[in-house]
């Protein structure tokens, strides 16, 4: 069912931000509110001149551009450029899947998210920038794809639930990779301290 992966991932993130993040983390409440707003806005759409667009997708674009604008200007420019390449990759993949669907030998959401996941990791190493690049690039890619298909008299709903079914696993993937790295760093520090303590005792 369309939207099931999105709902599972958003509820999973909400549980982590609400119950597992440290209570002294100032961004804990903000993250939880963002996730709940995403769940509430997901069924709504905005229509204008026969163009149907998800309200959630527009909200993601606004928040992502606002968050990007608050970063250093060099980082902002780099994120915009990286998002542009991500947008082209997204639109190219979708067009290729429409023109020649035979080459899509893996279920579409997982192949698409894997390609963009690897691309974004190569473009940036910071977790916040990676998520912003994925959100902006994918959302603008969805809009670009819609404008291309409209030239061929094909209706396309911008930001359908299938779009978010692929997007959320990408976000969860970046968050999981980040926390795995943090856990390995803490474990390495712990082992180093134990080794140092052992050498002192010797």
Any domain includes 50: yes
Average pLDDT, the chain: 85
Instruction: Report residue 125: phi and psi, to 5°.
Output: -105, -20
Residue 144 lies in a domain: yes
Q: What is the pLDDT of residue 30?
A: 82
pLDDT digits (tens, 9 = 90+) for 119-169: 999 998 888 899 999 999 999 999 999 988 888 778 888 888 888 988 888
Helix (H, G, I), strand (E, B) or coil at 48: strand
- Domain that includes residue 65, residue range: 4-188
Tell me if 61 is assigned to some domain.
Answer: yes
pLDDT at position 105: 62
Residue at 198 is within a domain: no
Q: What is the pLDDT of residue 81?
A: 95
Q: Which helix (H) or strand (E) holds 19?
A: none
Q: Contacts for 146-151 with beta carbons within 8 Å, 24 or more apart?
A: 146/51, 148/91, 148/95, 150/51
High-pLDDT (> 70) share of the chain, %: 93
Q: What band does 115 get if pLDDT is binned at 50, 70 and 90?
A: confident
Determine, yes or no, domain membership for 16. Answer: yes
Q: What are phi and psi of 48, to 5 degrees?
A: -155, 120
Residue 114: inside a domain: yes
Residue 80 has pLDDT above 90, yes or no: yes
193 assigned to some structural domain: no
For residues 164-178, average pLDDT:
87
**What is the pLDDT, as a whole number, of residue 157?**
85
Residue 71 lies in a domain: yes
Whole-angstrom distance, CA of residue 9 vs CA of residue 170: 10
How many domains does the chain fold into? 1
Pick from 169, 181, 60, 177: nearest CA to 116: 169
**Looking at 61-184, which runs of residues are DSSP E strands?**
none
pLDDT recorded at residue 120? 92
Helix (H, G, I), strand (E, B) or coil at 154: coil
109 confidence band (pLDDT: 50, 70, 90): low
pLDDT of 58: 92
Q: What is the pTM of this model?
A: 0.87
């Amino acid at each position: 069912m369309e939207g099931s992966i999105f709902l599972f991932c958003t509820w999973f993130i909400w549980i982590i931000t609400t119950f597992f993040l440290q209570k002294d983390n100032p961004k804990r409440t903000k993250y939880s509110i963002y996730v709940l707003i995403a769940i509430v806005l997901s069924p709504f759409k905005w229509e204008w001149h026969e163009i149907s667009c998800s309200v959630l997708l527009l909200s993601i674009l606004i928040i992502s551009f606002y968050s990007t604008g608050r970063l250093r200007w060099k980082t902002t420019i780099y994120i915009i450029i990286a998002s542009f390449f991500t947008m082209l990759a997204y639109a190219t993949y979708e067009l290729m899947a429409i023109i020649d669907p035979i080459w899509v030998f893996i279920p579409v959401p997982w192949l698409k998210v894997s390609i963009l996941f690897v691309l974004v990791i190569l473009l940036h190493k910071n977790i916040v920038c990676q998520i912003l690049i994925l959100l902006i690039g994918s959302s603008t890619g969805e809009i670009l794809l819609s404008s291309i298909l409209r030239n061929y008299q094909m209706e396309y709903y911008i930001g359908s639930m299938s779009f978010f079914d692929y997007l959320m696993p990408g976000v969860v993937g970046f968050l999981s990779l980040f926390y795995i790295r943090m856990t390995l760093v803490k474990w390495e520090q712990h082992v180093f301290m134990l080794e140092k303590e052992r050498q002192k005792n010797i």
